[in-house]
């Protein structure tokens, strides 16, 4: 019983320690120029066009990005939930990092 409580407390302490570096400054830094901005534009265009199978960049199908669109789909879900902003673009990656650490 005592070891279970200690493990739970350690888990909670680890979660609290990981929360601030990962989630603390998500909306304070500007958008990065390369991958982050390109994926954000693809997510916005997917959100705007309602075409969820093909990624677009500047109005044309994105033939440059060969990555699977799972991150873009999750970013679109967050855009629908909390609006179109930098936080909606960064939260999926932050959640993935947080749950990887925990």
Does the pLDDT of residue 67 top 90, yes or no? no
Q: Check residue 81 and give its pLDDT.
A: 96
pTM comes to 0.83
51-87-99-72 Cα dihedral, nearest 10 degrees? 20
63-65-67-72 Cα dihedral, nearest 10 degrees? -100
Does the pLDDT of residue 30 top 90, yes or no? no
Cβ–Cβ < 8 Å for 75, 88: yes
Residues 22-40 have a mean pLDDT of: 85
**Containing structural domain, residue 6:** 2-101
Q: Is 60 strand, coil or helix?
A: strand
**Total count of domains within the chain:** 1
The structure tokens listed for 13 are 């302490």
The predicted-structure confidence for 78-93, as pLDDT tens digits, reads as follows 999 999 999 999 999 9
Q: In the structure, what pLDDT confidence band is assigned to residue 63 with cuts at 50, 70 and 90?
A: confident
């Amino acid at each position: 019983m005592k070891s279970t409580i200690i493990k739970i407390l350690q888990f909670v302490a680890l979660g609290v320690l990981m929360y601030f570096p990962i989630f603390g400054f998500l909306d304070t830094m500007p958008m990065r120029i390369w991958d982050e901005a390109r994926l954000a534009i693809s997510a916005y265009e997917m959100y705007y066009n309602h075409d969820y199978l093909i990624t677009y960049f500047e109005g044309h199908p994105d033939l440059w990005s060969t990555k699977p669109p799972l991150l873009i789909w999750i970013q679109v879900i967050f855009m629908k939930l909390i609006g179109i902003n930098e936080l909606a673009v960064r939260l999926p990656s932050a959640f993935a990092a947080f749950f990887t650490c925990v």
